[in-house]
Amino acid sequence: MRVTLVYSDSLAAYDLGPDHPFRPERFTRAVEMMHKRDLIGPNGMRVVMPTPATDEDLLRVHDADYIKVVKDLSASPRTLWPRHGIGPGDTPAFAGMHDASALVAGAAITAIREVLDGRADRAFNIAGGLHHAHRDRAAGFCVYNDPAVGIAWALDRDPGLRVAYVDIDAHHGDGVQEAFWNEPRVLTVSMHESGRYLFPGTGFETETGGPDAPGSALNVPMPPYAGDSEYARAFAERVKPAVRAFAPDLLVTQNGADAHRADPLTTLGLTLRGYSALVESLVELSTEVTQGRMVAHGGGGYAWEDTVPRAWTALAYSLLGRPVPADLIAEE
């Protein structure tokens, strides 16, 4: 199985600060772990450097005024007055923010291009998955919505393409749903802790798509402490039939690891074994419905020292079609 890892050390420039929970170490440590396990290189994933998204790429998803604000705050990050969701709080401004965010968004385009051009069967944008960014504002640690930017680029390139987006992050993939709310060529699916209990407070079963795309959104809110069996059942009964019926040409996934029971910002109950089984189900679904064409993104995950790197290394094994070693997902 040909798998591309879209990666550069420069992606770690997307850094909201040393005291912020959204740490770049969640993916840099994962990449280190993958190297140690021979998952990268001649016997594993081929590394491709990302190129930054252009303003034209970003404008498919974001407003021009918002992009200008991001650039302005990148040059003057000490501004205390919040603008378009950027400022003190969840998504603080930092020097070079636009360039760092555009590189993450460009990595999503690079990953999709690798698959659509036939150079890879699957691709992994490990630093991506910033699914909360909206058309005109940042939110939830996310400045530019890289999954949406990548999908929008693909639709512009091939207007006949059908894309299924499946998001297993603990938080609702609200920004991606918003971007394609009225787009019948995109199915957005989100499994997440119910918005009754967790940010962003959306993602209810009644949210099913816009007037020109009824049924294009599927939300599967999970109750607090939902664990491996509940996730497996919800995926089998809700997600898999919906994706099969949609019959996409490409599967795009957001693989946040914050539904794990050790995550400090959520109250779900997945184990590493359960997470690994869930991402393996996504890979198997891509084999069934898209001839294996799949683009995976990282996402959330705040137990960054150990849990998230192990989870995303398990995902790399699955993308490569290899069994996940028991020691990688063993827990006390």
Question: 96, 226, 252, 268: which is closest to 167 by C-alpha?
Answer: 252
Other CB atoms within 10 A of residue 224 CB = 13
- Euclidean distance between CA atoms 228 and 230, whole angstroms: 6
Q: Which has the closest alpha carbon to 44: 318, 258, 254?
A: 318
The token pair at 207 is 């949210």
Q: Is 132 a catalytic residue?
A: yes
Residue of 132, 172, 192, 260 marked active site: 132
The values of phi and psi at residue 157, to 5°, are: -70, -40
How is residue 291 written in tokens? Answer: 């001839």
Q: Which residues are catalytic?
A: 132
